[in-house]
Chains A and B, each alone.
Chain A
Amino acid sequence: MRPDAAAEAPLQKFSGFALLRNALGGHQNWGHQWRNPAPKDEYDVVIVGAGGHGLGAAYYLAKEHGITNVAVIERGWLGGGNTGRNTTIIRSNYLFDESAALYEHSVKLWEGLSQDLNYNVMYSARGVLMLAHNHHDVASFKRHVHSNRLNGVDNEWLDADGVKAFCPPLNIKSMRYPILGGALQRRGGTARHDAVAWGFARGASDRGVDIIQNCEVTGIRRGANGAVEGVETSRGFIRAKKIGVSAAGHTSVVMSMAGVRMPLESYPLQALVSEPVKPAFDSVVMSNTIHAYISQSDKGEMVIGAGTDAYTSYSQRGGLHITTHTLDAICELVPQFRRLRMLRNWGGIVDVTPDRSPIIAKTPVPGLYVNCGWGTGGFKATPGSANVFAHTIAKDAPHPINAPFSLERFRDGFLIDEAAAAAVAH
C-alpha cells in the first residue's frame, strides 16, 4: 500500500476478529498505524518531541480536551530517543506525597492503557523488588514502605528469606554486601517501550493530530508581547498558539531558543541487554547500594540498567567503566548470569534537575509549556506525565497533581527532593 493511500484509510481496530480476518489474508492488509502528513501553516498546539511523553500529551489533548489541531514535531523518528532506550521499569513507590501522587496517577493509567489505546503496550505487573544491603537501606526502605502505604501505594517489606522466595535466582548471602531484605511493589513491572510510543502515536493520529517526523525545531519565535508565535523548523515556520516542549535531554537547548534558562543538566545514561535466553528471571530487581537493576524482556534478553556518567554530555555513549561497574554487581547478585554474553549497550541523554524531580509546568513565556527533568526515570511516568501536561496546556493552568512540579519551586524553596528517584545513586 502506498503511504498516501494509507493516509486516507480508516484506522483498523485491533480485535480477535480483525486478527482472524487478517490471518486469513496472510497479514497483507494491515494498514498503516498513523498518518505521515506535511506540516500545516498553523496549529493550536505544537508539541516539540515525539517521545512517549510528547505523543501522549497530544493524545490526551485530543481525547480529554477536544483539542485536535495539534502537531507533534520530532527531529528524528518517533520513539527514537529515550522512549526507545530505557529499561522499561514501572513503579510508583516514591517517598514524598507529591511524587507518590504523580507516579501513582501514572501506574493507574498503565493498568488500563492497552484497552484505552486499543494497542497492546504489554504492561506486565511482575513486581519490582528493591534490595536492601545494609542497615541504612533497611531503615530507608521501611520508611518508604510506610510512606507509600499511607499514600495508597502498594509496597511491602520482605526479609532476606522472603526475597529469596520471591526471586530464587538471587544470591543473598555470599557477597560483599549480603541482601538483608527488600521492598516489593507488586503492581510495579515493565511495559513494551516502543509500543507505548506507537500506541499513543496511533491514537493521536486517529484523532487528527499531525505527527511530523524528521523535522528539527531550530527556533522559537516570540511576538512583541513576549508570547510565542510559532516554531522555526527545518521544514519552515509553523505558527502555533501554544508550544509544549517535551524534549528530554535536549530541553535546555530548545528552551534557550525562547530565552529561558533551565535548572537542568544533561547526562548520558547507559543500558545494555544480554543475548536472549529462556525465561529465567520473572521480576524486576533493583539495587541502589551496589548499583544494578535487571529484568528479562519478552524476547528473553536480560535488560540491565547502568548509571549516568559523572559529566554532562550529549554524546549518547557514556564510559565503558560505568557499564563494567554495573555488570560486576549483576554477576555478584545473580551468579548464574556470569556466563551470559552482552549483546548491545547504548546511551541516552537524560535531563536531571537539582532535586531529581521533574518539571511539568508553565514557563515565564506566555504560551510556552515544558515537561522535562525526568532524569533517569521518566518511562514509568509516561501516561501520567502526558495526561497532566495535556491538562496544563489545555487549561493554561496545572492539574493539582503537577502543580507542585513547577519551575517556581526552585525560587520559592519547595524542592521535592527525591534522591532515590531512580533507586540508584545519581
Chain B
Amino acid sequence: MLIINCPYCGERPEIEFRYGGEAHIARPADPSALSDAEWTDFLYNRTNPKGKHAERWRHIHGCGRYFNAVRDTVSDFFVTTYKTGEARPDIEESAR
C-alpha cells in the first residue's frame, strides 16, 4: 500500500484516498469553439506515460480535498505532492 503525503494533512495510507486521473487538464474556456477532434482529446485521450505522471488525488477519508501529485508510474514512487492551483513542479519528463 502506498503512503501518500496529503499537502493539507500529511502522510496517510493509500486507502484514505481516491484517485482522480491525469492532472492539469483544464476544461476549454469556450467548448463550442472546439472541433470534434479537440473535444475528443479533452474528454477521452490521456497521456498515460511510462514515467513521471502529474495526477489528481482526493483525500476522501480525510480532509476531502483534491490535490496534485507527481508519481513515477514505473516504481509508483511519489516525487512530490502539491496543492490544487499550483503549477506543475519542474520535474523532467520521463524517458520511456
Cα separation A310 to B73 with both chains bound (whole Å): 13
Hey, what's the 0/1 contact readout for A336-377 against B, CB within 8 Å counting as 1? 000000000000000100100000000000000000000000
Hey, what's the 0/1 contact readout for A91-127 against B, CB within 8 Å counting as 1? 0000000000000000000000000000000000000
Given the interface pairs A321-B1, A411-B40, the reply to whether A263 lies near B73 with Cβ below 8 Å is: no
User: Is A399 part of the contact surface with B, judged by Cβ < 8 Å?
Assistant: no
Cα separation A37 to B5 with both chains bound (whole Å): 50
Give the residue name and chain of the A residue nearest to B77 (CB).
Answer: A315
Beyond the given A218-B96, A261-B41, A321-B15, could you list 20 further A-B residue pairs with CB under 8 A, ordered by the A residue number?
A252-B46, A252-B50, A253-B96, A261-B46, A261-B47, A262-B46, A262-B48, A263-B40, A265-B46, A266-B73, A313-B73, A314-B50, A315-B75, A319-B1, A320-B1, A351-B48, A354-B44, A411-B37, A411-B39, A412-B36
Give every chain B residue within 8 A of A264 (Cβ-Cβ): 46, 48
Are B36 and A312 interface neighbours, CB within 8 A? no
Select A263's contact among B21, B45, B55, B74, beta carbons within 8 Å: B45
User: Is A410 part of the contact surface with B, judged by Cβ < 8 Å?
Assistant: yes
Cα separation A319 to B43 with both chains bound (whole Å): 28
For residue A48, give the distance in angstroms from its CB to the closest CB of chain B. 14
Are B50 and A250 interface neighbours, CB within 8 A? yes
Give every chain B residue within 8 A of A311 (Cβ-Cβ): 19, 55, 71, 76
Cα separation A152 to B66 with both chains bound (whole Å): 47
User: Is B2 part of the contact surface with A, judged by Cβ < 8 Å?
Assistant: yes
Select B44's contact among A250, A310, A315, A410, beta carbons within 8 Å: A410
Give the residue name and chain of the A residue nearest to B71 (CB).
Answer: A311
Given the interface pairs A315-B73, A411-B40, the reply to whether A262 lies near B45 with Cβ below 8 Å is: yes
Give every chain A residue within 8 A of B2 (Cβ-Cβ): 319
Are A310 and B45 interface neighbours, CB within 8 A? no
Q: List the interface of chain A (C-beta within 8 A of B).
A: 218, 250, 252-253, 261-266, 310-315, 317, 319-321, 351, 354, 410-412
Are B19 and A410 interface neighbours, CB within 8 A? no
Are A319 and B48 interface neighbours, CB within 8 A? no
Give the residues from 10 to 34 in chain B that come closer than 8 angstroms, CB to CB, to chain A: 14-15, 17-19, 21
Most chain B CB within a 10 A radius of its CB, from A253, A266, A411, A412:
A411
Give the residue name and chain of the A residue nearest to B44 (CB).
Answer: A263
User: Is B59 part of the contact surface with A, judged by Cβ < 8 Å?
Assistant: no
Hey, what's the 0/1 contact readout for B45-63 against A, CB within 8 Å counting as 1? 1111110010100000000
For residue A29, give the distance in angstroms from its CB to the closest CB of chain B. 44
Give every chain B residue within 8 A of A314 (Cβ-Cβ): 50, 73-74
Give every chain A residue within 8 A of B1 (Cβ-Cβ): 319-321
A-B contact list, 20 entries, CB within 8 Å:
A253-B48, A253-B49, A253-B50, A261-B45, A264-B46, A264-B48, A266-B48, A310-B18, A310-B19, A311-B55, A311-B76, A312-B48, A312-B55, A312-B73, A314-B73, A315-B75, A315-B76, A410-B43, A410-B44, A411-B40
Cα separation A315 to B76 with both chains bound (whole Å): 7
Give every chain A residue within 8 A of B53 (Cβ-Cβ): 312
Give every chain A residue within 8 A of B96 (Cβ-Cβ): 218, 253
Give every chain B residue within 8 A of A262 (Cβ-Cβ): 45-46, 48
Select A315's contact among B15, B46, B74, beta carbons within 8 Å: B74
What are the 4 tightest A-B residue pairs by CB atom distance, in nearest-first order?
A252-B48, A263-B44, A310-B19, A261-B45
Cα separation A264 to B22 with both chains bound (whole Å): 12
Cα separation A310 to B15 with both chains bound (whole Å): 10
Give every chain A residue within 8 A of B14 (Cβ-Cβ): 310, 319, 321
